[in-house]
Structure 1
Amino acid sequence: MDQLSVILQRFSMNTSVFFTGNLCGISNFNKSPNQGHLHLLRNGELTLIDEQGKSLLINEPAVLYVPTPHTHRIIASEDNPPELVCANIIYNENTSNPIADALPSLLLFKLNDCEKLNQTAQWLFDEAFHERCGRLPMIESLTNIFLIHTLRHVLDNNIIQHGLLAGLAHPYISTVLLAMHEAPERQWGLAEMAELALMSRSKFADVFKRTVGQSPGNYLIDWRINVAKVLLKQNKPVAVVANTVGYENGSALARVFRKKLGISPKQWLEKN
């Protein structure tokens, strides 16, 4: 399995289209827990205002991807009203999403810069702006496909230079990340990870930290905690969750939770 599929299987990202058409006036998008936004501009002109009050004028077909909860506003041009498809991005596990958390607060791509993005966007626009049988499920499906193409574009073009997505784009570090993501229960050692990356232990540790931003051991702990959160939300027993993510028992998992989060797994679950 590839590095992106493994994460998307464990941490789902689904879209829900809530607007298609010509936008008028000012639209405010507030923070909603575990939710981002996707705005596809077909034509027209708009101004995006971010949380810091910075403005960005967009007047050609583009995708505006706000992966995590961030307040923003879209101001439609009166002379050249924008035609848009807007969707919420919903993280169903009610926990943080590793991919979304690894992205900046806003990504902006011109549709003409990527053939796959442009092609999928045109299919989506064609469905969104015509009344056909099965229109709603079709635009929902196409929006989910568009989101995956967006993530592929980020990885294929090394757009993120630091963090998880930079690691997934790295030709050797990605092999180790994929292995850890697929089998968090294994007792990974530095020598084994370095061998997978075709590097010496010292070089691997250095390259991993410079690329991902933390040591391999710390990343593994964070990944295990993220997976554990999803399993806890599924009402799995703490002992089962602990074994699934590589710890002998619930007490060992609780120690890791307290060290990283300051609370036990049960306390975290009560708060979430």
Structure 2
Amino acid sequence: MDQLSIILQRFSMNTEVFFTGNLCGISNFNREPNQGHLHLLRSGELTIIDEKGTSQLIDEPTVLFFPTPHAHRIVGNEENPPELVCANIIYNESTSNPIANALPAILSFKLNDYPKLKQNALCLFEEAFHDRSGRIQMINLLSTMFLIHVLRHVLDNNMMKIGLLAGLAHPQISKVLLDIHNAPERQWKLETMAELALMSRSKFADLFKKIVGQSPGDYVTDWRIIVAKGLLQQKKPVALVANAVGYENGSALARVFRKRLGMSPKEWLEKSQ
């Protein structure tokens, strides 16, 4: 299984289209927990204003992708109103999503510059602006597919220079990340990871930290905590969760949680709920 599929399988990213049509006036979008936004401009003109007050004029078909909760406003041009498809991005976990957190606050792509994204956007527009049976389900599915195409575009073009997505785009580091993501329960020693990358231990450790932004050991620990959070929210027993992410027992997992988060797994679960 490929890198992106493994993460999406563990940490879902779904979309719900809530607006299609011509936007009049000003629309405000607040920070909502575990939610991002996706806006696709088909035609017309708008101004996007982020939470810092920075504004940008958009006057051609464009994708605006807010991966994480981010307050912003869209101001439609009254003389040339924007025709939009707007969707919420729903993260089903109350924990942070590793893909969303690896991206900047906003990504913007002019569709005419990217033929593959434009082709997929046209399919979404075709459904969104015609009244056909099954329209709502279809545009939700197509917008989710479009989101995956955006993430694929980011990976294929190596757009992120540091962090998780930069590591996934690196031919040698990605092999190690693939195995870590797929099997967090394994005993991940530096020697094992270096062998997978076909490097010496020192060269691998230096390259991994340069590309991903943290040491291999710290990344393994953080990934295990992310996976453990998801399992805890599924009401799995702490001992079972500990074994599933590579720790001998619940006490060992609790020590890692306290060191990283300042609380035990049970305390974290109670707080998250």
TM-score (norm 1): 0.99
Deviations 1:158-190 (A, max 9, x none): 111110000000011000000000000000111
Q: Distance in 2 between matches of 1:236 and 1:114?
A: 44
Q: Which residue of 2 is the match for residue 227 of structure 1?
A: 227
Q: Distance in 1 between matches of 2:4 and 2:199?
A: 23
Q: Distance in 2 between matches of 1:185 and 1:118?
A: 41
Asked whether 1:152 is paired with 2:152, we answer: yes
Deviations 1:72-127 (A, max 9, x none): 00010112110000000000011100000000000001112222211111010010
Q: Distance in 1 between matches of 2:161 and 2:46?
A: 29
Alignment RMSD: 0.6
Asked whether 1:64 is paired with 2:56, we answer: no
Deviations 1:52-90 (A, max 9, x none): 100011111010000000100001011211000000000
Asked whether 1:103 is paired with 2:77, we answer: no
Counterpart amino acid of 1:166?
A
Counterpart amino acid of 1:84?
L
Q: Contact 1:162–1:213 (CA<8 Å) still a contact in 2?
A: yes
Q: Distance in 1 between matches of 2:86 and 2:170?
A: 32
Q: Distance in 2 between matches of 1:162 and 1:259?
A: 25
Asked whether 1:127 is paired with 2:130, we answer: no
Q: Which residue of 2 is the match for residue 200 of structure 1?
A: 200
Q: Contact 1:114–1:153 (CA<8 Å) still a contact in 2?
A: no
Asked whether 1:239 is paired with 2:239, we answer: yes
Alignment of 1:1-272 (within 5 A): 1-272=1-272
Q: Distance in 2 between matches of 1:158 and 1:107?
A: 14
Q: 2:36 aligns to what SS in structure 1?
A: strand
Q: 1:24 aligns to what SS in structure 2?
A: coil
Counterpart amino acid of 1:238?
V
Q: Distance in 2 between matches of 1:198 and 1:89?
A: 38
Q: Distance in 2 between matches of 1:28 and 1:36?
A: 14
Q: Distance in 2 between matches of 1:113 and 1:184?
A: 39
Q: Distance in 2 between matches of 1:240 and 1:88?
A: 34
Counterpart amino acid of 1:49?
I
Q: Distance in 1 between matches of 2:96 and 2:194?
A: 28
Per the TM alignment, residue 220 of structure 1 is displaced from its structure 2 partner at its CA by 0.4
Q: 1:87 aligns to what SS in structure 2?
A: strand
TM-score (norm 2): 0.99
| Stretches of structure 2 lacking an aligned partner (at least 5 in a row) | none
Per the TM alignment, residue 199 of structure 1 is displaced from its structure 2 partner at its CA by 1.0
Q: Distance in 1 between matches of 2:13 and 2:172?
A: 26
Deviations 1:189-236 (A, max 9, x none): 111101111111101000000000000000000000000000000000
